[in-house]
Structure 1
Amino acid sequence: MLLVDGEPVLSSSAGAASRTGAVGVELVAALAGHPGLRDAADRLKATPETRISAGREGAPRHVYVFQREYATVDPARVEVHLIGGFSDASTKVVRSSGKKHIKQEGYSYPLCCKIVEVLHKSQQQFHLRSFCVLENNTTTDSLGNTLPVIGGFVVQTTSGVVTPASFDMNSRCPDEVVRRIRVSVCSYDPTWQGRLLETYDTQCDVFRIAPACWMPNWADIASSLNQLSDSEVLMQCSTSPAAEPPHFVENERRIWKYLINNPDWEETFPKYKPRVFHRTSDGSWSRYS
């Protein structure tokens, strides 16, 4: 069940129109226009961005979570902040039977619809605090390209306060490249299909990177992709080339180089066991197994 300000978010389509996505479409429209959520999004966008850098003396400890990963702080307190998706849809003219019609293509909108519908249909109560997505999180550059206003954020687990944030390359530890690969290959693994990847154990302050496998020919594919120019990498490997951060291409090449050097997944996950990392006294991460 999805709640805003303690009240359930209702859908008139819940009973009659059970077709895939119908409920999600209605809910997204309602949430995008909710005055309280719009005000919360405006306040969030007006908040100065925090720069997160690991290894800096006095830097607070943090846990970095990639797309398709999740980390649970307190299972008894389920507050939801939907942040980051933007209006990335492009207009395409489709012709059929001699007629033409306009079709909107993009990734953020259908993903948002799916997320809110899943939350709405769950027996668990989810308290929605932020809905800074789609038109509530979109700006344009000088060329008219749509961009997200907020691309990353940090949550203070003690207070629940959310702040826009950017992250240095060294702040995405531990095991950044392997985790990126796992997120990529999990889409081919039926045991992970449609699921988020649990990564962090908050009770033990431990990262457990669940094993994943990849085909040996991924090394050949990675080698071929690595021959592309930076502009070609952006156009072929990104769903929103104009919106990518400066380090996007570098991150892609790091993944490919790892696959080239480690074509056998068992070298990374011996005996199909997870990679476990403990936090050290200085705040860095050390591999335990």
Structure 2
Amino acid sequence: MIYVGGVQFLDESSSFSLSSSSQGSSLLVDVMSHPVITLASDSFKNLEEKNVSFDESDSESSTKDRYVYIFQREFAVVNPALVDFVGTDEATTCVGLVIRNRKSGMTSVAHMDSPEIVDLGISQMLLLVLQDDVDAELDVHMVGGYEDVDIKNADGVGDYAKPEGYSFPLCCKLVETLQKRRENFHIQTLFILGHNTKLDSQANTCPIFNGCLVNTSTGAILPASFNRTSRCPDEIVRRIRVSSSFEDSSWKGKLLDTYDTKTDRFIIAPCRWTMRLIEYVWELNQLTDEEILTNCSTSPSAEGPDFVNSLRRLVILEASTGSLSRTQTGHRKICILFLFVCFRNWGYLLKYPEWSKTFPRRQPRVFERTVDGHWKKC
């Protein structure tokens, strides 16, 4: 169940004869318009974004602090005794979800990218956060999911029609699921949709912030961005794993296991990719930057300056068969995902076209933290 301002939030729409999707839309709109949430969003909007970088020339961040970074479709539960900060970014139409146990400080962060992974994903996040105390008081923050369509003018029937787009269905599912569960979720930050939307110089809507960083000791949350020095360890393999997980049935509906809470190690669970994906590398290497942006993003005008460069190292391409509906495909723009690495960084997939070379005997890739705050492969 959801609490706002310390008071249980009553879902009035549940007593009306609305469809399930309409009830979810109504609940989301009502929670977002609550004065406490509006005030919190205004305060968050005025915070300075923290740039997390471990470049030697960058004095803003320090590897003396212990960080955990989460990629798309991953999650991690961190212990404040072992980790100082945990965060994620690149969430434009995705949502960074934070759940923190007020008493223990155990903090779970997930990068949600589809309504299809919300139910199981939240259960995964809560397993270690609750610590067998289902009555624990849990603080919740959401950042990302900008308004990629005009919700007020969305097509549909009724006041709470579900608009097209990617952010709104995901945000609806998240809030609706929290409300239906028995745990006590105290919504502190809902910096999503209209609260997290601005116009760029070409009058395109885009997110104000697409990432967040949580101080595990205090629970304080800041808008944040990361770069190649702080999106670690094992960035290339973890990005490959995000897309290949759609074809690996063992990960259906789940967040990707990435980090071990008890040992403070990254244990990157194995994921299979097919030779079909490798074949497309050769066919797609002529794409221009503009074509990459158009084909690879659900929000081309909203991506950060390093988006295309990251995809030049590992690009997730999607090809439509036209056979699945938006509901069936969830957050995915289209239903089949392909990997593309340009000529400058084909290296990894071409060197290891068989997934078993990356995950021998289907064993995870393990990284431990070094004394200087970096990571080394075990």
Cα deviation, residue 103, structure 1: 9.2
Structure 1, unpaired ranges of 5+? 95-101
C-alpha distance in structure 2 between counterparts of 1:201 and 1:8, whole Å: 33
C-alpha distance in structure 2 between counterparts of 1:214 and 1:187, whole Å: 9
**More displaced stretch, 221-230 vs 26-35:** 221-230
Aligned length: 281
Partner amino acid, structure 2, of 1:54? F
Aligned partner of 2:371 among 276, 281, 284? 281
C-alpha distance in structure 1 between counterparts of 2:20 and 2:285, whole Å: 38
C-alpha distance in structure 1 between counterparts of 2:216 and 2:37, whole Å: 21
Correspondence for 2:170: 111
**More displaced stretch, 14-23 vs 232-241:** 14-23
**How does the TM-score come out when normalised to structure 1?**
0.89
CA contact (8 A) 1:146 1:243 kept: yes
Correspondence for 1:207: 266
CA contact (8 A) 2:140 2:185 kept: yes
Partner amino acid, structure 1, of 2:350? I
Deviations 1:10-32 (A, max 9, x none): 22343665844233212110111
User: What pairs up with 1:27-176 in 2 under 5 angstroms?
Assistant: 27-54=27-54, 56=56, 58-59=62-63, 60-73=65-78, 74=106, 75-76=129-130, 78-89=138-149, 104-176=163-235
Secondary structure of 1:129's match? strand
Correspondence for 1:265: 355
C-alpha distance in structure 1 between counterparts of 2:301 and 2:202, whole Å: 10
**More displaced stretch, 15-24 vs 264-273:** 15-24
Cα deviation, residue 84, structure 1: 0.9
CA contact (8 A) 2:25 2:162 kept: no
**More displaced stretch, 127-136 vs 243-252:** 243-252
Correspondence for 1:25: 25
Cα deviation, residue 163, structure 1: 0.9
Partner amino acid, structure 1, of 2:189? S
Deviations 1:82-123 (A, max 9, x none): 1111111169999xxxxxxx9943110111001111111222
C-alpha distance in structure 1 between counterparts of 2:221 and 2:206, whole Å: 20
Secondary structure of 1:142's match? coil
Over the aligned positions, Cα root-mean-square deviation in angstroms equals: 2.3
Structure 2, unpaired ranges of 5+? 79-105, 107-128, 131-136, 156-160, 315-340
**More displaced stretch, 233-242 vs 69-78:** 69-78
Deviations 1:195-246 (A, max 9, x none): 2223222321111111100111111113323320000000011111010111
C-alpha distance in structure 2 between counterparts of 1:282 and 1:125, whole Å: 38
- In structure 2, relative to structure 1, the CA distance for the partners of 1:178 and 1:18 (3 Å cut) is farther
C-alpha distance in structure 2 between counterparts of 1:156 and 1:103, whole Å: 35
Deviations 1:56-79 (A, max 9, x none): 474422111112211113114632
Deviations 1:117-164 (A, max 9, x none): 111122222221100000000000121100100111110000011111
**More displaced stretch, 129-138 vs 23-32:** 23-32
Correspondence for 1:99: none
C-alpha distance in structure 2 between counterparts of 1:69 and 1:175, whole Å: 13
- In structure 2, relative to structure 1, the CA distance for the partners of 1:51 and 1:93 (3 Å cut) is closer
C-alpha distance in structure 1 between counterparts of 2:377 and 2:256, whole Å: 19
- In structure 2, relative to structure 1, the CA distance for the partners of 1:123 and 1:18 (3 Å cut) is farther
C-alpha distance in structure 2 between counterparts of 1:26 and 1:264, whole Å: 47
Correspondence for 1:97: none
**Identical-pair percentage:** 44
Partner amino acid, structure 1, of 2:146? F
C-alpha distance in structure 1 between counterparts of 2:257 and 2:41, whole Å: 27
CA contact (8 A) 1:205 1:278 kept: yes
- In structure 2, relative to structure 1, the CA distance for the partners of 1:278 and 1:192 (3 Å cut) is same
C-alpha distance in structure 1 between counterparts of 2:140 and 2:185, whole Å: 6
Correspondence for 2:257: 198
**More displaced stretch, 117-126 vs 79-88:** 117-126
- In structure 2, relative to structure 1, the CA distance for the partners of 1:18 and 1:105 (3 Å cut) is closer
CA contact (8 A) 1:225 1:233 kept: no
Cα deviation, residue 35, structure 1: 0.8
C-alpha distance in structure 2 between counterparts of 1:147 and 1:93, whole Å: 18
C-alpha distance in structure 2 between counterparts of 1:285 and 1:18, whole Å: 51
